[in-house]
Structure 1
Amino acid sequence: MSRKVITGELFEEERPLFAEKSIDVTDCTFDVGESPLKEVSDVNVRGGAFKWKYPLWYAKDVDVEGTYFGEMARAGVWYSNNLSIRKCQVDAPKEFRRCKNIALSELVIPHAEETLWWCEDVTLNNISANGDYFGMGSSNLKIDNLELIGNYSFDGCRNIEISNSRLMSKDCVWNAENVIIRDSYIEGEYLAWNSKNVTLINCEIKSLQGLCYIDGLKLINCKLSGTSLAFEYSTVDAEITDKIDSVMNPFGGKIKAPVIDKLIMDKSKVDVSKTIVEAEVGIKLDEFDGII
């Protein structure tokens, strides 16, 4: 079956290519008119621009390269499967929702609010994103070189691996399960609360009350200078290479660090015998003194 080729066209009506199959779309502009590529399959898009809402819904087997997603192309890629999108400027919020088998690379997403929600089997490579609530509820994510500025990222995610990334994010990876972060920098309050099976390797972390309420926390060769009131009510196995500002009431495990400036172990809150601390401790308190 020969492929249909569409080049250099301007579309301004709704659903102009609805349910098309096996087409190549090159340097086309989809202006005012919703859902231009709804229900399509086996489609290659090269260059051009999506300038209006809902460009790719219920699509499958779609390959996009070098295409501009304008600010009004919001809620652009939903309920779609088998997608590869690369080398694109994505100015629209709320992109990528309830998609499966999606590969994103070399994207700039300056308005990434509510982006990548409830997706499955996702790879991200070389992504720059700025916006709150990035990646909520998604599962089976492999991420390399993500530059993220935005709070509440990866809430409720399952099976997530992040490498070589920089996350400036308050309340990052809350309510998550099976998280591995390697060779990354993370800054923001309350990191990874209420999560399960969280491993950080060769990471630098700065987080007020970070890494609390975690069932199964492991840190290998990590830096925590600038992190205070860490590990509250967490089970933890931590190998830290620099000082920790303060540690408070871990549920149990082992914490190894050169220095802990302040260690708070309140017998009325936790069984202190369940935690082994190997560190030079500056101040040891039996209860929290109210000083962060």
Structure 2
Amino acid sequence: METIKQGYYSGERALFHEHDLILQDTTFADGESPLKESANITLDGCIFKWKYPLWYSSNITAQHTTLLETARSGIWYTKNITMKDCSIEAPKTFRRASDIHLDHVHMPNALETLWKCEHITMYHVQAKGDYFGMNAKHIKGDHFTLSGNYAFDGASHIELHHATLLSKDAFWNCEDVVVYDSLIIGEYLGWNSKNITFINCTIDSLQGLCYMENLKMVNCKLLNTTLAFEYSSVDAQIASRIDSVKNPVSGSIQANEIKELIMEETRICPQNTKITIQQ
């Protein structure tokens, strides 16, 4: 493979359709799509300053590399990309891409990031921005931190460990999600979703966990959570007090205390849900 050190490129499509390159300490300045349709590229200590750097690319490895805020919409339609110890300052990164591996990646402006992508792994990733992971599929994450609303809307086949999500309307319209040992803070969690499991999680959610099918919760805490489980089928083992529960449609709920239990016979059949208070 050819190695380029301390390169400086400007102008549109500077290295269009290049392949089998190692780029070290190289800067891509003004000019769109510098590595469009590239393949078998290694990036080490590189800087991208302008739009669309890696579109329709394949087999990309990047470390200690930075996408500045102006490198927006940076990685679309790309297959098999690994990024380690990188900073992505730009919004709308990753769209309709696949086989994405992020390791110690910081994304402080992750608005509309990872849309319609699939086969994603995230390890020690920090992100901030609304509409993260919309309609994405097959996601695995460990020590993932997100501050941003409407996360993972329409996504499926998600497995998260040790995550922190500060997110209103997270996991809406989702299917097949398992979250372990995590903290989730934000209203209206999980509406209209199916086959969602939380294990050893702490959740703070106004009117969360409603309109859900096959919701399972194992050894979870619900803090400041009111009007929970409305119109949901649920199997919940809650190791805390629940401030209020409203109109679950079926299943079982076990908690240390339920301050307010609302079961409206005109809307649901109360006998379909077993309520157990257990200290």
Determine if the TM-score, normalized by the shorter chain, exceeds 0.5: yes
Measure how far apart 1:144 and its partner are.
0.8
Deviations 1:114-156 (A, max 9, x none): 0010001000111111110001000000011111100000000
Measure how far apart 1:48 and its partner are.
1.9
Deviations 1:188-224 (A, max 9, x none): 0000000000000000000000000000000000000
Secondary structure at 1:223's aligned position in 2?
A: strand
Q: Give 1:102's aligned amino acid.
A: I
Aligned to 2:15: 17
TM superposition score normalised by structure 1: 0.94
Measure how far apart 1:40 and its partner are.
0.5
Write out the 4+ residue segments of structure 1 that deviate beyond 2 Å after TM superposition. none
Measure how far apart 1:12 and its partner are.
1.1
Q: Give 1:222's aligned amino acid.
A: C
Q: Give 2:192's aligned amino acid.
A: N
Q: Give 2:133's aligned amino acid.
A: G
Q: Sequence identity of aligned pairs in percent?
A: 48
| 8 Å CA contact 2:205, 2:223 repeated in 1 | no
Secondary structure at 2:91's aligned position in 1?
A: coil
Residue 200 (structure 1) aligned with residue 195 (structure 2): no
Alignment of 1:1-292 (within 5 A): 3-279=1-277
Task: Quote the Cα distance in structure 2 between the aligned partners of 1:197 and 1:267.
Answer: 26
TM superposition score normalised by structure 2: 0.99
Measure how far apart 1:61 and its partner are.
0.4
| 8 Å CA contact 2:160, 2:178 repeated in 1 | yes
Q: Give 1:270's aligned amino acid.
A: I
Secondary structure at 2:256's aligned position in 1?
A: strand
Secondary structure at 1:273's aligned position in 2?
A: helix
Aligned to 1:289: none
Task: Quote the Cα distance in structure 1 between the aligned partners of 2:109 and 2:205.
Answer: 24
Measure how far apart 1:225 and its partner are.
2.1
Secondary structure at 1:224's aligned position in 2?
A: strand
Task: Quote the Cα distance in structure 2 between the aligned partners of 1:68 and 1:225.
Answer: 38
Give me the CA root mean square deviation. 1.0
Task: Quote the Cα distance in structure 2 between the aligned partners of 1:157 and 1:246.
Answer: 28
Structure 1 gap segments, 5+ residues each: 281-292
